[in-house]
Chain A
Amino acid sequence: MANDDSEFIPDDDSIGFVETQQVRLFDPPNELCLESGVRFGPIDVAFETYGTLSPEKDNVIFVCHALTGDAHVAGWHAGEERKPGWWNDFIGPGKGLDTGKYYVICANVLGGCKGTTGPSSIDPKTGKQHGLHHFPFITVGDIVKVHSALVEHLGITKLLAVIGGSLGGMQVLDWAARFPDQMAAVVCLAAAAKLSAQGIAFNVVGRRAIFTDPKFNKGEYYDDPDGPRVGLALARMVAHITYLSDVSIEDKFGRRLQHSSHFKYDLDQETEFQVGSYLHYQGKRFVERFDANSYICLTHAMDYFDLAEEHGAIRQALENCNANFLLASYTSDWLFTTAQSLEIVSELVNGRRHVSFVELSSSKGHDAFLLEIDPLVQLVRPLLERAQLEMAEQRQKEAGENAGDNHDG
């Protein structure tokens, strides 16, 4: 590594420096058949792994990221973009997902802009970026099919657990419905079987902000050094409010002013309140790391997700999954409410599935699943230990049966 990394030492309880890897899947003629009916490939997948794969390959945890996340979930990237993974407090040696014991995988989603094929990646057929209109409609199911293909590509047949929050939680649910034998435990945080009308409404506003940006140019903006920065920043500002709670905003900013202790009575002052300048800052930072077309693509995937629709009911969707389900909601989350989690719990109980559920107390709103690490660790640790035990028992049973078969033969 170049730069002055020799001087920089990541916090010593993290996994240290990590790198994103890439693999090409669904090469023609084996394209992925998308839910929209379109055949699509090849698909490049960016992913990171931490820890060591056990010889039995029974210690694998797949983390599904949320709307604007990426494959960099733990450890540190070296170089200029020196930053910890988005769930670094939860994943690492001795942490909730203990990389001393488990092999953790996280991949950027299809349609994203962090290394996995998305609207901003180069279409090998044209040598140019896909853009919005040459990129197909992506669903949560499509995203999961790519994740699952990656797992298979890595030679892993059964995951110890799939874990995710928000849009990541939707992926987790879809995965359990689509490939019910592929995991021993399912952890779904701050999510729902479908996005509420209120949630769709906020996504509509976000997309509207992008669509009406004069520099959006129907999604063909990759030659423009700016692109729809203003619209994307505005979309993020609105969305960011939905990730907080009234209490967390109040605690963080109250009515405090940014540069003064009294009003200026100046109509041009856009960010007189601290909360305003914070949101502007969030918007500005977001456009530096995210692509507007990906934002459109992935919010659509989120809006379309409806676990019950495809199978008739949530119960039917998950009836073949024998994994241990763990769902958690957070008291102050108004984007993905406790009632929405309980809807899933209710159907799982009704379908005789193994389901644990907790509503955790937090004032941090929807973002709580990223921030309230301690209760998560307390819940997930015994779940993983139990799941590994059950996987070992299952393996032994199967080995016994096979041995029996051989004797008979």
Chain B
Amino acid sequence: MGKKRYCMPDPQAAITDELLMQHIEQGSRVIDLGCGDGRLLEKLRDDHGCSVQGVELDLSEIYSCIGRGISAILMDLDQGLSSIPDDTFDIAVLSQTLQQVRHPAAVLSEMLRISRRALVVVPNFAHWRIRQQVVLSGRTPVTQSLPYSWYNTPNLHFMSMADFRELAGRLNVKIVHEIPIIAGRSRRRAWLPNIRAESLFYILERGDTDGSAESA
């Protein structure tokens, strides 16, 4: 008891939204998968003139979206996005959710089917303090904003930067940008990012048809 565990940064932190806003062009057609109460989409609509659509699993969040005038569809990402046609969006956003879906590879593929570009924020479970915690305490790390134990965590998958790159290659997904978030700040260049980054911000596009995915 009382043992300090390393805490991952709050996934709802303004930094993530800011970073997403920076990489979404004015007037884009944007879908946010796991849009919550629609706050990010509201900002994109009002400040960026974007045409926005939310997808959310929690009905009570949909009520909030509607109150903001944000269109939202009640949908489980693991059931697929089949009712959303191909190439409907410029940008699909998935923030701190990929580790929680049952089939991350399928969700990534679906994102790049419905959208030209995907912006994905994932936690880096290979951060050195997590490694240290696992090695020294011999216990599953617990995060600050998701203070769950191993038996009730919504996080189903624990991936690292290296893992994500590997999956992108396997799915023929092109990593256009890979931005480590270290100490709550995005870093264009970082030394040992797979050890130092708490989260990673990815801009993804469909890979070349010949199957050669670019690794960043």
Contacts and interface: CB of A to CB of B under 8 A. Distances in A.
Chains A and B come from one and the same complex: yes
Interface of A: 324-326, 342-343, 345-346, 349-350, 352, 354-360, 375, 378-379, 382-383, 385-386, 389-390
Interface stretch (B83-91, B152-160, B191-199): B83-91
A169 to B, nearest CB: 17
Consensus secondary structure, chain B interface: mixed
Contact of A390 (B29, B62, B69, B88): B69
Contact of B65 (A352, A356, A389, A390): A356
B63 interface: yes
B72 interface: yes
B47 to A, nearest CB: 17
Contact of A358 (B53, B59, B64, B85): B59
B63 A379 contact: yes
B88 A350 contact: yes
B71 A354 contact: yes
Interface string B157-194: 00000000000000000000000000000000000000
A189 to B, nearest CB: 14
B39 interface: no
Interface string B69-88: 10111100000000111001
Contacts of A385: 67
A357 B64 CA distance: 13
Q: Most B CB atoms within 10 A — which of A326, A356, A360?
A: A356
A390 B85 CA distance: 28
A177 B71 CA distance: 19
Contacts of A325: 71
B48 to A, nearest CB: 16
B51 interface: yes
Contact of B66 (A326, A343, A359, A389): A326
A74 to B, nearest CB: 23
B102 interface: no
Contacts of B74: 357-359
B43 interface: no
Nearest to A389: B69
Q: Most A CB atoms within 10 A — which of B51, B62, B63, B66?
A: B66
A379 B73 contact: no
Contact of A375 (B51, B59, B67): B59
Given A342-B83, A345-B73, A352-B51, A358 B62 contact: yes
A349 B84 CA distance: 7
B71 A386 contact: no
B68 interface: yes
Contacts of B71: 324-325, 354-356
B69 A350 contact: no
Q: A-B pairs with the 4 shortest C-beta distances?
A: A382-B67, A358-B74, A342-B83, A382-B66
B68 A386 contact: yes
Nearest to B64: A382
Contacts of A355: 53, 71, 73
Contacts of B63: 378-379, 382
B69 A386 contact: yes
11 contacts: A342-B83, A346-B84, A349-B73, A349-B88, A350-B88, A356-B65, A356-B72, A357-B73, A379-B66, A382-B64, A390-B69
